[in-house]
Amino acid sequence: MVGSKDLPPSTTPFFPNVFFRNQFRAKPQWPAPGTSLSGQTAIVTGANTGLGYEAAAQLLGLQLSRLVVAVRSLERGEAAAAKLRQLHPKATVDVWELDMSSYASVQAFARRADAQLPRIDMAILNAGLVRLEFHKIEATGHEETLQVNYLSTVLLAVLLLPILKAKGPPNGPPPRLSIVNAALSLAAKFPNRAANPLLPSFDDPAAFEAREHYHSSKLLAHMFLWQLADRVASTDVIVNLADPAWCKGTDLGRDVQSAPLRAAAKLFGAATGRPKAVGASCLVDAVVNKGQESHGCFLMSWQIHPFAAFLYTPEGAVVIQRVWDETLAELDFAGVRGILESMRA
């Protein structure tokens, strides 16, 4: 199998070449007619709105039996679940609290999944945000974009690995774990790449630049998966990254306070964005259509794509290892090293 690591790095300029192809020329790969998820259980984080909601609806449209809607606001989650239950009355739709800015909430969610779900076939880690202003999470000491898009997402992914392995489909294909990523990771300039230690450099208010922080938060996931794929067998859990491309009508920039900026983003989305249904199909593709060939891969436009070109360089190799080591050290309180060792056993 040829994965992202095995492909030659792309030298095509992101703007306009890659962006144009990704937005306008790529063709959706919908599940084959007759595809049924009957009897299966899925977790979708951030499923109360935007792409998360649309992906959840598409999974239920494939006769998914049980869905866990993981959300920060139970009230908003219940409102979304009510609509999903009305559309799919035969399915069980649960709403569980998950605050990605809180390590404790992430740990509690994983424990609940282990205790209450007898079977888990797939998980889509979709929760994420864009911050235009610097905001530090006091409980962790980290800038919020780094915390939500990378650190808490990686923690949840690692905590779910042994649970998925133990509760995957009996006598079936391995369970899937897909982390929502972004093609914009390929455009990351990563200005703090030489910082040592690296992760604390994201927490410096003087160095905060909203666009680069978002791009780099997604690039960090490339680096983590580069290492993780060698430690988790595709026969146990299939782990991949999925890019839905730029989509119109999502709440990714929900925290943007500036009315002109919100209007500009809405206008740009209307002109260039994919419909939510098409963007969400990338997430569904990652957990329904794709199999072991996608393990450890970055999926863009429904295809296995190389990671960001920086990862293939000698400097990139050094930074990949630094990101891995610092991430494991940051998450050591949750026993991630032991979990990853158990996955190799």
Is 214 a known active-site residue? yes
* CA distance linking residue 298 with residue 77, whole number of Å: 29
- Please spell the DSSP secondary structure of 117-152, one letter per residue: -S---EEEE------SS--EETTTTEEHHHIIIIIH
**Distances in Å between the alpha carbon of 46 and those of 101, 102, 242, 262, 268?**
13, 15, 15, 20, 23
* CA distance linking residue 147 with residue 232, whole number of Å: 24
Asked whether the beta carbons of 164 and 177 are under 8 A apart, the reply is yes
Q: What angle do CA 117, 122, 123 make, to 5 degrees?
A: 90
* CA distance linking residue 147 with residue 101, whole number of Å: 6
Q: Is 165 helix (H, G, I), strand (E, B) or coil?
A: helix
What number of other Cβ atoms are within 10 A of residue 10's Cβ?
17
Q: Which of 53, 103, 167, 218 is catalytic?
A: 218
Take residue 313 and report the two structure tokens written for it.
């360089």
* CA distance linking residue 340 with residue 123, whole number of Å: 18
Q: Which of 150, 165, 214, 290 is catalytic?
A: 214
List, as own/partner pairs, every contact residues 139-143 make where C-beta atoms lie below 8 angstroms and the sequence separation is at least 24, other chains included. 139/101, 139/102, 139/103, 139/104, 140/101, 140/103, 141/203, 142/199, 142/202, 142/203, 143/202, 143/203, 143/208, 143/213
Is 218 a known active-site residue? yes
Asked whether the beta carbons of 273 and 249 are under 8 A apart, the reply is yes
**Residues catalogued as catalytic:** 214, 218
